[in-house]
Chains A and B, each alone.
Chain A
Amino acid sequence: MSHDETLKESLTRNGVSRRGFLKFCATAASIMALPPSMVPAIAAALESARRPSVIWLSFQECTGCAESLTRSHSPTVEGLIFDAISLDYQHTLQAAAGDAAEEAREEAMKENWGKYILVVDGSIPLGNPGYSTIAGISNLDMLKETAKGAAAIVAVGTCATFGGIPKANPNPTGAVSVSDIIKDKPIVNVSGCPPIPVVITGVLAHFLTFGTIPELDELGRPKVFYGNNIHDRCYRRPFYERGEFAETFDDEGAKKGWCLFKLGCKGPITYNACATAKWNEGTSFPIESGHGCLGCSEPNFWDMGGFYKALSQPAVDVSQTAAYALGAGAVAGLGIAALNRKKKADVATDHQTVTIHDLRRNDPSKTEAEDS
């Protein structure tokens, strides 16, 4: 498959009809969360789209993100989009290993300098370069080197986007995100642990279709997927409004499908497309399965005070702190009380009885007047 071939040509070569192409475009629009009315424009753009080269780097990660993406049965639309790109380096998926693999990367970089998309999953350890290396190259060096020639970077998964689990307190490896290191390239953060597969492909489809990166939110995430709050789009929201909450995972409330806020649902502070895109081929999403949202697409989700602790509860143990403060307050209070009581005792001791002879002050002007 040549890089010069357009997507349309690639599809035609595979015997896909125009109807099939339209079906592809309709689904792609849906994936990109664009309105169906955009389908003709998408079709027009895709007809002339060229296959971009993609280099995929994996650092401190668990391969869950790649799993999420590739577990989709082929040829799904996600699969088709992957067919439409040229994945030139992905050390988990590629057949080549060792020096051959690294050569493939260097070659792809050279060939497509300034044009390729760099996909990164996993965080980068700054604590000690030896914590994570590929072919003896530290993650930091490889990222910096590969990023130089990239047209854009897609950070996939919460580790790459925000540091994720490796960065969780106490962050033993000194893990940081891609955007902590690379400052001079457009970076699209596709967060989630793992991200929703169609969101990953949606971003690639966007790049493929329009040659640009989608509009991003303040955390660098595509607004079309991360613009909506889980809580706002949650079908259990009416229970929240009515104050109907499941208190445990097996109480009546839980059986009736009441709101999971008190069971630690982080929906209110989580932005992701789970409520609409759903998981497992659109079957459901965690809340629908009776478990609160973990907030996995948000920074620091691992340190939010516990998955089963309500969002409005303190992320730390306040009761203990309050007890110490109470003691300290009592000690300080007794201290000031002792000082106050001494002051009062002193003024009482020094009290000179007021008689009618000392109701007037010694006013110099009056004395003078009396004298004269």
Chain B
Amino acid sequence: MSEASLERGIAALKEQIDAPVAAFFSSCTHCGMCADACLFHTETGCPTYTPIYKVEPMRRLWEQEYTLLGRAKKALGLSKPITEEELEKWQSKVYNTCTLCGRCSMVCPVGNDITGMIRKMREGMSAGGFAPEGLIGASERAVEIGSPMGVRLPALKAQIKHAEKDTGLAIPMDVEGAEYLVLLSSMEIMNYPEYLHAITRIFHQAGKTWTLCSEAFEATNSGIQIGSSDIAAELVGRVVAAAEKLKVKTVISPECGHAYTAIRWEGPNLVHKEFGFKVQHILEVLDELRAEGLLKTEGIEEAKLTFHDPCQLVRRGGVVEQPRNLLDMIAPNFVEMEDSGVMNWCCGAGGGVSANEDADKVRNKAFNRKKKQLESLDIDVVVTACANCRIQLEDGLEINEMDIPILGLTEMLAEHLKEDKPVEEETS
């Protein structure tokens, strides 16, 4: 059996360093703008949380290993080697105070994808044994049980039974040839079963075939959060195998940010092949149904509401217009929060921060940013499309004694679904 070591960590970092990383490090002028864009810095005022500083050991490694002058300096013994103590110290910077939200990458004037580098930094940290205990545990459960929260198939089946009873509709499982393979996040199974109800009804109304898969129902990917491509590939591989086995056209990522990144963008690169199926976020699917006239709603949401953009959807995923199109159908009192869209502030819990107990305190502090954004709006409801954001919003608002309900967009749409009986009878 092997084990993590500094050497493995350094080797992993060496593997990760590529032309973009070299260009990024060569271009950074220490202007400090990334700090102004990072909520862990703005809410704590702590300079050590400056995004580019979080990858400083990787910068030194790049210089020592991949530049002529750096190699010369290393050969002459003039450079400072990376040590275990250093990487231990860096754990809190790389994991606790970064949600991989990507705001720093948006504002960097020289165009450095700092978030992307922190993701790479985590490869070295995880291979070197410097990942936080919380994420190691989540990864173990994800690989061994199939869910980072330890949710097993029977638990899902129980929820399915509830949903079938509530909706009066059958929930397909392991159906070959369905158009959509629906994935769920453990949080949705445990905390927000409304999502399952909602998509059951929506797909029924749209007349689309879909299925769950008993071998791969979990969408989230702890490998992405801990930053281990090998573990992430193992988890994505299960989804790919399921999709191929069931011959679905499209795999739907649930209301979750990093799951979308994991399957949609990193997935093919993790398993080193192009997918034979499409990957879409549920909001993309719903927006397509809307455009095709297959998603019909009735009534409006009277409440004044706003939408919290999950970072992995907007900045790291390119899903910006879809939720707005959907909200337009039912929410005339929709207001944008300040910095909405690609520059929206993170809830403070993404990128594995919510699974990492060490980060609890700083996570709550970072939530201040969201609190200020919401306070300035005077709204009744917050809508979002990521279960992880949703939990953080609920927790944060509770701690700050703010009584604002949080809703998932899919479930809110389902509440306004126009059950078009005659059409349904004609088709059936």
Q: Which residues of A contact B (CB under 8 A)?
A: 332, 336, 339-340, 343-344, 347-348, 350-362
25 A-B contacts, Cβ less than 8 Å apart?
A340-B66, A343-B14, A343-B65, A344-B14, A344-B15, A348-B15, A351-B12, A352-B2, A354-B8, A354-B12, A354-B228, A354-B231, A355-B230, A356-B136, A356-B231, A357-B3, A358-B1, A358-B2, A358-B129, A359-B226, A360-B4, A360-B129, A361-B3, A361-B4, A361-B5
Cβ contact within 8 Å between B66 and A356: no
Q: Which among A344, A351, A354, A362 has the highest number of chain B CB atoms within 10 Å?
A: A354
Known interface pairs A347-B11, A350-B11, A352-B8; A359-B129 also in contact (CB < 8 Å): yes
Closest to B142 in A: A356
Inter-chain CA distance A347–B124, complex, in Å, is 12
Cβ contact within 8 Å between B2 and A351: no
Cβ contact within 8 Å between A360 and B66: no
Cβ contact within 8 Å between A356 and B11: no
The reply to whether the CB of B287 lies closer than 8 angstroms to some CB of chain A is: no
CB distance from B140 to the nearest CB of A (A): 5
Total inter-chain residue pairs, C-beta < 8 Å: 76
Cβ contact within 8 Å between A358 and B4: yes
Q: Which residues of B contact A351 (CB under 8 A)?
A: 11-12, 15
Inter-chain CA distance A344–B62, complex, in Å, is 12
> Can you list the 3 inter-chain pairs with the closest CB atoms, starting with the nearest?
A361-B129, A354-B230, A347-B14
CB distance from B195 to the nearest CB of A (A): 28
B-side binding surface: helix, strand, loop or mixed? helix
Which of A332, A339, A356 is B144 in contact with, Cβ under 8 Å? A356
The reply to whether the CB of B139 lies closer than 8 angstroms to some CB of chain A is: yes
Inter-chain CA distance A355–B231, complex, in Å, is 6
CB distance from A359 to the nearest CB of B (A): 5
The reply to whether the CB of B126 lies closer than 8 angstroms to some CB of chain A is: yes
Contact with A along B7-18 (1 / 0, CB 8 A): 010011011010
Inter-chain CA distance A348–B231, complex, in Å, is 16
Cβ contact within 8 Å between A359 and B230: no
Closest to A352 in B: B2
Cβ contact within 8 Å between B68 and A332: yes
Which of B1, B15, B66, B84 is A357 in contact with, Cβ under 8 Å? B1
Contact with A along B229-262 (1 / 0, CB 8 A): 1110010000000000000000000000000000
Inter-chain CA distance A348–B68, complex, in Å, is 21
Inter-chain CA distance A351–B231, complex, in Å, is 14
Which of B3, B136, B230 is A353 in contact with, Cβ under 8 Å? B230
Inter-chain CA distance A350–B140, complex, in Å, is 24
List 18 extra interface pairs beyond A356-B136, A358-B4, A360-B136, CB under 8 A.
A336-B68, A336-B71, A347-B14, A347-B15, A348-B15, A352-B2, A354-B126, A354-B127, A354-B228, A354-B229, A355-B143, A356-B143, A356-B144, A358-B1, A358-B2, A359-B136, A359-B140, A362-B5
Inter-chain CA distance A332–B140, complex, in Å, is 46
Closest to A348 in B: B15
